[in-house]
Amino acid sequence: MKPSLFDYCSPQTVSEVVSALSEDPGAMILAGGQSLVPAMNLRLASPTRLVDIKNVADLSDISISDGVIKVGAMVRHRDLELDDTVHAAHPLIREMMHYVAHVPIRNRGTVVGSLCHADAAAEMPLLLLLAGGTVTAVGPNGTRDIAAAEFFQFHMTTSRAPDEMILHANIPVLPEGAGYAFHEFARRQGDYAIAAVGAILSVDGGNTVTSARVGACGIASTPVLLNRVEEAITGSTLTKQSIDDAAKVAGDAVTLPDDMHATTGYRKHLLSGLVRRVLAEAAERATGEPVQ
Ligand SMILES: Cc1cc2nc3c(=O)[nH]c(=O)nc-3n(C[C@H](O)[C@H](O)[C@H](O)COP(=O)(O)OP(=O)(O)OC[C@H]3O[C@@H](n4cnc5c(N)ncnc54)[C@H](O)[C@@H]3O)c2cc1C
């Protein structure tokens, strides 16, 4: 199929982008086009105007200050993935980005575009939630920061207003000494996750978990933090048994009904296995030793 008719504009400034969005309620931003263009071709999206942001200055910057990695709206997946300073500040990012589609798609698609597209099985929304990050939106009334937990409302639905553009994503760096891990199950490399889990663990000298962020995507209508797993593992001394016990309570977070990819029961089974794997790996990275 071909897209329905649309106008096209290519603003040079952020205020021109906001004006273009405000003038036409049917307008949509075009970033890398890797999700929007297929959706238009399938007539799942029919914007009346495309507001192409690739010529807006200063949207391709990546910077780190005050413990936050700032990722501009036109930063391509591949630029963030290959940035060594970002890798040193938050090694989980590169680890997760390896699972986002394929290299040609990561060369064009943007990180912020992925956040705005908000596929419930996508890796970048989970990263933002896990890291406790925010996005900065700009609209006719100025700018505002939106926490990941409020930004992702439903599958492919965010709390961004139609006349707002997301200027950048803000990802806190990995806490000092924390361990991290990410594992995903998909039918083929590059497909969206049937289930995926990430974890960030801080552990003290006595092998006790002092803080845990554990989240998943592909199992609900948004990425979710696995609160019951976090509660079970926080304060426990790391052993294979404590990790098993925490993994056992993961399944409740699965709220997707059976679909063409997996049954709910299978997703619960996958989730427990993935939680066990990421907790063990994050623990090993935090302590430098395999969990006994
Ligand atoms: C074959 C294939 C496989 C894929 N597999 C995966 C995968 O495994 N995991 C994964 O995460 N992704 C996957 N993707 C999607 C890919 O990551 C996209 O690049 C990404 O989701 C969207 O980025 P984009 O820059 O291309 O955005 P676009 O397609 O240009 O835009 C996507 C949406 O975001 C909006 N938008 C974009 N930028 C802004 C902004 N600054 N402010 C407000 N709204 C904005 C657009 O209006 C549109 O609604 C896949 C894509 C393809 C084609």
> Any idea of the CA torsion for 114, 117, 122, 128, to the nearest 10 degrees?
60
Range 7-52 has CATH code 3.30.43.10: yes
Which segments of the chain have a pLDDT < 70? none
- As beta bridge partners, residue 213 has 200
Range 179-287 has CATH code 3.40.50.300: no
* Structure token pair of residue 196: 């995926």
* Structure token pair of residue 16: 């021109």
Q: Find tokens 């426990």 and name the residue.
A: 236
Does residue 71 line the site of ligand 1, with CB under 6 A?
no
- Give how far Cα 39 sits from Cα of 47, 110, 209, Å: 10, 16, 43
Ligand 1 center to 282 CA (angstroms): 28
Instruction: Report the nearest-CA residue for atom 38 of ligand 1.
Output: 113
- In the chain, CATH 3.30.43.10 covers 7-52
Provide the pLDDT for residue 77. 98
- In the chain, CATH 3.30.390.50 covers 179-287
Does residue 36 line the site of ligand 1, with CB under 6 A?
yes
Ligand 1 center to 115 CA (angstroms): 8
Does residue 31 line the site of ligand 1, with CB under 6 A?
yes
Provide the pLDDT for residue 146. 98
- Give how far Cα 66 sits from Cα of 63, 69, 172, 217, 225, Å: 10, 9, 9, 28, 25
Provide the pLDDT for residue 57. 94
Range 62-172 has CATH code 3.40.190.10: no
Does residue 100 line the site of ligand 1, with CB under 6 A?
yes
Provide the pLDDT for residue 1. 74
Contact 48, 62 (CB under 8 A): no
Spatial separation of the C-alpha atoms in residues 291 and 281, rounded to whole Å: 9
